[in-house]
Amino acid sequence: MSGTVSEPDRSGQERTAPLDAYSRAVTSVAAELTPKLAAVNVAHRRPWGDFVAGTGSAVVFTDDGFLLTNAHVVGHADAGTVDFADGTTAPFYVIGADPLSDLAVIRADAPTPPPARLGEANALRVGQLVVAVGNPLGLTGSLTAGVVSALGRSLPTSTGSAARVIDDVIQTDATLYPGSSGGALANADGEVVGINTAIAGIGLGLAIPVNDTSRQIIAALLSDGRVRRAYLGLAGTPAPLPPPLRNRFGQRAGLRIVQIVPRSPAARAGLRTGDLLLTAAGEPTASAQSLQRLMLADAIGHPMPLTALRGEALVDVIAIPAELSADD
């Protein structure tokens, strides 16, 4: 027998080192965010008059009791209760909801935990670690982890006859369940980069990005309780630019107008079905989403220059966006 003591086999430790780093990142996010998430409980009135209980999640995002959630979580309710992971419960009332972005702001009528840190979804990359924190199936403070599986997805929303597409939606394989809506999608630093909103299938969840557009919407909900939007009254589909115009405008596509609403701002400006819209307010319009980014409150009633290709001629017009109503 040998009198020497063998060295421990470190290969197993080396193999688990990446897993340890992954675990440390996920547990750090859990410790950071779980206390700052709430289970949302509301009562929704059904068309025939009775009530049904609804649940979801919400994220504390200010130090004076405001929480961010989905508009579809609160629905038409004015109030409800929130439950935190430490067992405390508080009543809340709805500050404002915007179904066209599926965002809502509520306020707890009691002290809340410190706010979560809001990050920037535009900095995300496909394959990046993300952690979903919420209250699926009523289980307060539940967590799943995964990666950003795609960026730039589109999510149709509507209210009344008004419709919109939420652009730049985050797709993740972090598992979401009923009740996850309104919860946080966070990066490895614990910053909230999205608000979980939809389960599109097994291993496919969607989150509203936290970016400049959503920050404007949140600010409008805080100040006014609603979001005012501008309206041109056109529908279009992306179409390629003729090669001579690609270099001139620095873009490869425009928005082919397929419908003009009669007596709308677009109709009054002289736009026509078949026009290829190139720019709006000096910004490229390569998609409906790029035009929608301009359609917020500060555009209402203000002249907006538009450039379109009609046949082989460039046409410059001025439209004055109106305010979008639920009936538009």
Catalytic residues: 72, 102, 181
CB 92 within 8 A of CB 78: no
- Distance, first Cα to last Cα, the chain: 89
Measured distance CA(229)–CA(103) in Å, rounded: 14
> Residue 158 belongs to what H/E stretch?
strand 142-159
Residue written as token pair 């992971």: 85
CA 105-295-121 angle, 5° bins: 55
Q: Are 100 and 227 in contact (CB under 8 A)?
A: yes
Q: What does each C-alpha distance from 152 to 11, 119, 216, 289, 299 come to in angstroms?
A: 41, 17, 19, 10, 24
3-state helix vs strand vs coil in the chain, percent to 5: 20, 45, 35
Those residues whose C-beta lies under 8 Å from the C-beta of residue 87, and which sit 6 or more positions away, are: none
Pick from 230, 235, 233, 236: nearest CA to 295: 230
| Residues 43, 61: Cα–Cα separation, whole Å | 24
